[in-house]
Copies of this chain bind each other. A is one copy, B any other.
Amino acid sequence: MRRVLVTGANGFIGWHTLPRLLRRGFEVHGVSRRGVTVPGVYSHAADLLDPVQVTQLLQKIRPECLLHLAWYTEHRKFWTALENYRWVSASMHLADVFVRNGGMRLVVAGTCAEYDWSQGVCDEFATALQPRTDYGVCKNALRALLDGYTRHCGVSFAWGRVFHLYGPNEHPDRYVAYIIRSLLADKPAACTAGQQRRDFLHVEDVAEAFTAILQSDVIGPINIGSGSASSLAEVATQIAKILNRPGLLELGAIPMPADEPLTLLPTVRRLHSEIGWKPTYDLPRGLTHTVNWYRNQRDTAELKS
Contacts and interface: CB of A to CB of B under 8 A. Distances in A.
Contacts of A89: 88-89, 92-93
Contact of A141 (B80, B96, B134, B144): B144
B149 A140 contact: no
Nearest to A136: B148
A82 interface: yes
A26 interface: no
Give chain A's interface residue range (CB within 8 Å of chain B): 20 to 34
Interface in A53-110: 80, 82, 85, 88-89, 92-93, 96
A99 to B, nearest CB: 10
Contacts of A96: 85
Contacts of A140: 144
Most buried by B among A145, A147, A148, A152: A148
A138 interface: yes
A122 interface: no
A96 B138 CA distance: 15
Count of identical protomers in the assembly: 2
A13 interface: no
Interface string A222-261: 0000000000000000000000000000000000000000
B137 A147 contact: yes
Contact of A138 (B82, B138, B145, B153): B145
A148 B138 contact: yes
A293 B109 CA distance: 54
Contacts of A147: 137
Contacts of A88: 89, 92, 145
A294 to B, nearest CB: 36
Contacts of A93: 89
Nearest to A140: B144
B85 A148 contact: yes
A148 B142 CA distance: 13
A142 B149 CA distance: 14
A89 B94 CA distance: 12
A213 B250 CA distance: 54
Contacts of A92: 85, 88-89
7 A-B pairs with the lowest CB-CB distances in the bound complex, closest first? A137-B148, A89-B89, A141-B141, A141-B144, A141-B145, A85-B149, A134-B148
19 contacts: A80-B152, A82-B152, A82-B153, A85-B145, A85-B148, A85-B149, A88-B89, A88-B92, A88-B145, A89-B89, A89-B92, A134-B148, A134-B152, A137-B144, A137-B148, A138-B145, A138-B148, A140-B144, A141-B141
Given A134-B152, A141-B145, 8 more contacts: A85-B92, A85-B96, A85-B149, A88-B145, A89-B89, A137-B147, A137-B148, A138-B148
